[in-house]
Amino acid sequence: MNALELKNITKSFGFNTILKNVSLEVNLGEFLVLVGPSGCGKSTLLRIISGLESSSTGEVFIGGKNITLVEPQNRDIAMVFQSYALYPHMSVYENMEFSLKIRKLPPVEIRNRIHEIADLLQMTPLLQRKPKDLSGGQRQRVSLGRALARRAPVILFDEPLSNLDAHLRQQMRIEIKKIHQIFKSTIIYVTHDQTEAMTMGDRIAVLNKGQIEQIDSPFNIYHSPKNIFVANFIGTPEMNLLNGEMRNNYFVHKDFDFNISKDISSHDVVLGIRPENITLSENQGIAGTVQFFENLGPNGLLHVHTGNEVIKLFIQGQNIPKINDKVFLNVDQSKLKLFDKKSGSLIQ
């Protein structure tokens, strides 16, 4: 049985259609990450699941029950808001206690739960403070804690770590995963952050302009993107996307061409290749000049200009070509993706 299911959800504000026919199934205890560009409807989708917003058409099921018309307070869904939404007149402890009290849990249980979560999120010293006396990161942790203390079967996260510094973000990422493993709630987690999406999700759903482009494991999303949008959106630095044409097993680009041992009829295509699947070679391959080198620490990103295109590739080691050096690039044939230019979807 699915923990959560969306069937053909459409949402319009006036004439503006924000979500188009979104269908989604989330398994019990699954950690689903929802990514997509700003304004694509991620928050709106969470609000529809939580019942704060009603969908124009479509249905929401939780545990097999149709809850489309159920009020939010009766859905037993917890949510971490993009803007924290802490109760300003209550201390951290009272913020966390509030929902448990409403649900009439025994006082001992309430206390235990709050202290357990506070421990996990390292905010025991903050329990008696008011939200206004906390830093942005601390507030964010409190709003996380408030949702987690509920132990709701379904928890929605709306960019919960967006205001934390890199170090704390990494720490919290691990904490959230740990807590997920302990309580096994079903989680839908919205983020902008690629690393978060890749490391945390059991599956990733990529949303674009109100439509789900692809739902799959992080591995498949990364290595087998279904279309140009997903290929381009997932991965930092981005995948190289080269516009060209297929002609008799040759990929023909304005600046270069090379043989592809794939049987594809002639038409306009977009060739996608990730920076890590291109290597420098001595004297054969795509010719270009080095334009720029970005040092990323463990490796570096080389920008190579081929005339009309800039191709980026990872390089390692000491032998870094200098700017304006002539280089040759080799593309790992087994890793390249070909997309139909018109429809944007994967050919092979």
Partner 1 sequence: MKKSLSWFTILLFCLFSLFPMLYVVSISLRGDNAFGSRSLALFNSQSTLKNFSELFLHTPFLKWMMNSLYVSTVVTLSGVILAATSGYAISRYEFKGKKIMLMSLLTTQMFPATMLMLPFFIVLSKLHLINKFLGLIIIYSSTALPFCIWQMKGYFDTVPKELEEAAKLDGCSSFQAFYKIILPMSTPALVITGLFSFMSSWSEYLVAAITLQDPELYTLPLGLKSFQASLATQWGLYAAGALVVSIPVVVLFIMISKYLVSGLTVGSVKG
Ligand X SMILES: Nc1ncnc2c1ncn2[C@@H]1O[C@H](COP(=O)(O)OP(=O)(O)OP(=O)(O)O)[C@@H](O)[C@H]1O
Q: Which residues bind to partner 1, rule: CB under 8 A?
A: 50-52, 71-73, 75, 77-79, 81-89, 98-99, 102-103, 130-134, 136, 139, 146, 150, 163
**Nearest residue (CB) to Mg ion, 43 versus 95:** 43
Which of 3, 43, 78, 100 touches Mg ion by CB under 5 A?
Answer: 43
Could you tell me the smallest distance in angstroms from the CB atom of residue 48 to ligand X? 10
- Tell me if 38 contacts ligand X by CB under 6 A: yes
Are 205 and 35 within 8 A, CB to CB?
Answer: yes
**Nearest residue (CB) to ligand X, 38 versus 236:** 38
> Long-range contacts for 165-173 (Cβ within 8 Å, ≥24 apart)?
165/137, 168/137, 169/193, 169/196, 172/121, 172/141, 172/144, 173/199, 173/200
- Tell me if 43 contacts ligand X by CB under 6 A: yes
Could you tell me the smallest distance in angstroms from the CB atom of residue 131 to partner 1? 4
Sign (positive/negative) of CA torsion 26, 31, 36, 42?
positive
CB atoms within 10 A of CB 335: 13
Site for ligand X in 52-91 (CB under 6 A): 82
Q: Which helix (H) or strand (E) holds 258?
A: strand 257-259
User: Residue 41 binds which entry of ligand X, Mg ion, partner 1, none, with Cβ cut-offs from 5 to 8 Å by kind?
Assistant: ligand X
**Nearest residue (CB) to ligand X, 54 versus 348:** 54
**Nearest residue (CB) to partner 1, 128 versus 284:** 128
Are 121 and 141 within 8 A, CB to CB?
Answer: yes
- Tell me if 42 contacts ligand X by CB under 6 A: yes
Query: What six digits make up the tokens of 88?
Result: 């300003």
Site for ligand X in 11-30 (CB under 6 A): 13, 16, 18
CA 241 to CA 28: how far, in whole Å? Answer: 37
Are 2 and 27 within 8 A, CB to CB?
Answer: yes
Residue with tokens 């044409």: 245
- Tell me if 219 contacts ligand X by CB under 6 A: no
3-state class (DSSP) for residue 180: helix
- Tell me if 40 contacts ligand X by CB under 6 A: yes
Sign (positive/negative) of CA torsion 150, 151, 153, 158?
positive
CA 215 to CA 198: how far, in whole Å? Answer: 13
**Nearest residue (CB) to Mg ion, 36 versus 272:** 36
**Nearest residue (CB) to partner 1, 11 versus 150:** 150
**Nearest residue (CB) to partner 1, 24 versus 96:** 96
CB atoms within 10 A of CB 165: 11
Could you tell me the smallest distance in angstroms from the CB atom of residue 10 to partner 1? 22
Q: Interface with Mg ion by CB under 5 A: which range of 26-34, 40-48, 249-257, 318-326?
A: 40-48
Please report, as ranges, the residues that interact with ligand X according to CB under 6 A.
Answer: 13, 16, 18, 36, 38-44, 82
